[in-house]
Chains A and B, each alone.
Chain A
Amino acid sequence: MEFLNDVLVQPFADMAAAPDFLLQVLWEGLVGGVLYALIALGFVLIYKSSRIFNFAQGIMVVFAALTLVGLYEKGVPALLALPLTLVVMLILAMTIERVVLRPLVNQPDIILFMATIGITLFLIGFGELIFGGENKVMITEQLFIPTGSIVFEPFGGFVSIEEKDLTAVIGAMVLVAALLVFLNKSKIGRAIRALGDDHQAALSVGISLSTIWVIVWFIAGVIALATGIVWGARAGVSFALEVIAFKALPVLMLGGLESVMGAIIGGLAIGILEKVFEIYWGQPLLGGNTEAWFAYMLALLVLLFRPQGLFGEKIIERV
């Protein structure tokens, strides 16, 4: 009976007793969710256009953020370092396409996946060689990202919102909106979608595979940079950022690998639900750290009923 009370009654009683705290939990969950969605978007874009599961997305976040901070440390002004980092990401995209992907066209998916593991290992070593392994401070203020906090006092309590988190949420929303417009309204966007639907049909109407791959990897690089700035502003820029890519895996399972909307909704759902579960059920009943597995359990539950994820395309193979 006590157990049922702890599971079914007490958490809701706690929420009602401290609504300001619940609001804080929801806000933190939303911020986390936006960040997960950003990482997942990088995976989705590349998968949509090339059917490659890009294992290197996590290290691209690290590489982009380290390049930005590294350039600033070398004396490049922050506002110049930003476009220069984008140039570096473009060069990286072109190099990956030319050196890794082009020779592997028409190879099985698993070979391309293994190639992205190779890219990861290379970028880890190369990044360490160039930038070193130390934790670096993100140039938040230099990029005019506000660093204060806004405090509300609802229900007699308080909710604190970090301005950089608020900027991250707004920035991510703008980025996603721009991406959706680009994918749906522009010629290149349509070409990316066409390539995702059917490689051979897209090629037959004159869409250049290599150009699209460069563009897609570059966009994934831009997303990686945005993710790196946001996460780096929270706890510094180091190789630890790579680990957060693992948080995108359940988002992809939940939302579907091909769906931009899936990545966004999946990210937000996981961010908020895992936080609420951890605070009201995980910490009191299970000793905490449920965030390490909760998202996977949720994704697994969804997969039981929708194997393609919430927004994934159902694959029907006729034999």
Chain B
Amino acid sequence: MKRMLKTAILSSALMMGVGIAGPAMAQDDSIYIPNLAYRTGPFAATGTPLMNGQRDYITLLNERDGGLNGVKLDYDECETGYNTEKGVECYEKTKARAVVTQPWSTGITLQVLPKSNVDKIPILAPGYGFSPMADGKVFQWAYNPPSSYWDGASMILKNISDGNLDSLKDKKIAFLHLDHPFGKEPIPLLEVLAEKHGFELVPIPVGLTEMQNQSAQWLQIRRERPDFVVMWGWGAMNAGAITEAVKTKYPMDQFVGVWWSGHDGDLKLVGEQGKGYRSISWSVPNSEAPLMADIKKYVVDAGKSQINQSEGEFDSVFYQRGLMISVILVEGIKAAQEEFDVRTPSPEQLRWGLENINLDEARLKELGADGMLVPFSTSCSNHTGHGGGWMLQWDGAKFVKASDLLTPDRAEIEPLELEKAKEYAEANAPWPVNEECKM
């Protein structure tokens, strides 16, 4: 009996030991990368290929290289359904081990932003979030490379005006947007530019329950007869808008969307009828790139991917953009590892890494992703990089590159960015700023 008791105590102690040591060892040997994903709900059509891409690049590094500099990357998704409250719950749930937060919605980003100063975990929001986050001195913990929404709006206007915004004078631009923090994001800049260059801006909001039935919005477009329609849509809103545009017979070459409104799946619904529709993008799919060959070999063909091959997801804009988002994150982690000579950088060390990303053309080529992402670099004062973007155009079956590299008009954007960043800091005082950054 005594012996049995001893054995029981010993085995319990051992089990407890393993239980305690297990996670600790796992923490030492891997870098935990949570992703506040949305594979369900009304925005799942946008989210699924993006998350697949993010996941697959991490899988590639683990499978091909044994991780990053010998350290396994522990990618983990917490499902938010693109819901802000659930997103905040996911942030709280994952923050203890997280080296980074990827909030995946402007609404969640805005909620998590003040928490980042306290928790000291970097927020990485590539191509989304709050545009003034570009001001790294004010938003020390937030990063939105390689282009912000305001950069995107500026590039679209430059493109439709052939580089001369004054030529838009007396023209009418309808701004069709999701009635959500994301959709409203570029309005402050567009209002400033409308006043400066003399064009009329007609904001047309689309509510969550109207995403699939935008007949009222497109009746307004029919009545207003705008010269251009600029769309800031997400998820099901894009498909709803594009099908209504076809129905209204709005000229597709006068219809331009932000990068989240350029999803193959949405355009496939209208196919040939959507020909001419454009979307600004900071990534371009290139299935022939060496990186894609590796993804195919080590991830897709090895059965480790969740992509839907029958629907051509591998070649899609969003899947390959998801890959690029993980490329950006991994470059930040790698920079931190090398700078601090550590295997598993802390969130604070990663913050330095994200401020010192240098994804120039040479580095992209080295990664096998030449031409798939706009080249950019970040610094302590510039958390966006402002790499610019290309115009993609739907040719009836797929998106193709339809412009040279476009760049935002920083002279017009930067003063507004600094002003709004300052306003934000004052409204949320006391707000710590990075005094050490002298750039």
User: Which A positions have Cβ atoms within 8 angstroms of B?
Assistant: 18, 21, 24-25, 28, 31-32, 35, 73, 124-125, 128, 132-135, 137, 149, 160, 162, 231, 234-236, 238-244, 246-247, 275, 278-279, 282-283, 287-289, 291-292
Contact = CB atoms under 8 A, between A and B. Distances in A.
6 contacts: A134-B49, A134-B265, A134-B308, A234-B213, A238-B236, A283-B216
A154 to B, nearest CB: 15
B245 to A, nearest CB: 11
B236 A235 contact: yes
A275 B44 contact: no
B40 A132 contact: no
Nearest to B265: A135
A270 B249 CA distance: 27
Given A132-B48, A134-B265, A243 B205 contact: no
Contact of B247 (A21, A134, A135, A149): A149
Given A235-B212, A243-B42, A289-B206, A135 B239 contact: yes
Contact of A21 (B40, B223, B240, B268): B223
Interface in B163-212: 179, 203-212
Which A-B residue pairs are the 4 nearest by beta carbons?
A: A133-B44, A240-B236, A240-B42, A135-B45
B236 A24 contact: no
Interface string B385-397: 0000000000000
Nearest to A73: B310
B251 to A, nearest CB: 16
Contacts of B240: 234-235
B115 interface: no
A135 B179 CA distance: 21
A246 B48 CA distance: 24
Given A244-B213, A289-B207, A238 B220 contact: no
Contacts of A134: 44-45, 48-49, 265, 308, 311, 313
B236 A236 contact: yes
A239 B208 CA distance: 13
Contacts of B220: 279, 283, 288
B209 A28 contact: no
A25 B218 CA distance: 11
A135 B44 CA distance: 8
B144 to A, nearest CB: 24
B47 interface: yes
A247 B209 contact: yes
Question: Which of B236, B249, B268 has the most chain A CB atoms inside 10 A of its CB?
Answer: B236
B207 A133 contact: no
Given A134-B265, A244-B213, A292 B42 contact: no
Provide the main secondary structure of the chain B interface. Answer: helix
Given A21-B223, A134-B308, A246 B209 contact: yes
B330 to A, nearest CB: 25
B40 A133 contact: yes
B167 to A, nearest CB: 28
B287 interface: no
Contacts, number: 139
B44 A21 contact: no
B235 interface: yes
A243 B235 CA distance: 12
Given A137-B269, A240-B235, A278 B311 contact: no
B271 to A, nearest CB: 9
B212 A240 contact: yes
A7 B95 CA distance: 52
B213 A32 contact: yes
Given A134-B48, A240-B42, A292-B209, A235 B269 contact: yes
B217 interface: yes
Question: Which of B207, B215, B220, B269 has the most chain A CB atoms inside 10 A of its CB?
Answer: B215
B179 A133 contact: no
Nearest to A127: B40
A127 B164 CA distance: 49
B381 interface: no
B219 A28 contact: yes
A84 to B, nearest CB: 19
A287 B187 CA distance: 14
A235 B215 CA distance: 11
Interface string B267-307: 01100000000000000000000000000000000000000
A292 B236 CA distance: 16
A73 B243 CA distance: 22
Contacts of B310: 73
A28 B42 contact: no
Nearest to A32: B213
B39 interface: yes
B35 to A, nearest CB: 15
Contacts of B212: 231, 234-235, 240-241, 243-244
B216 A239 contact: no
Given A133-B39, A134-B45, A240-B212, A292 B243 contact: no
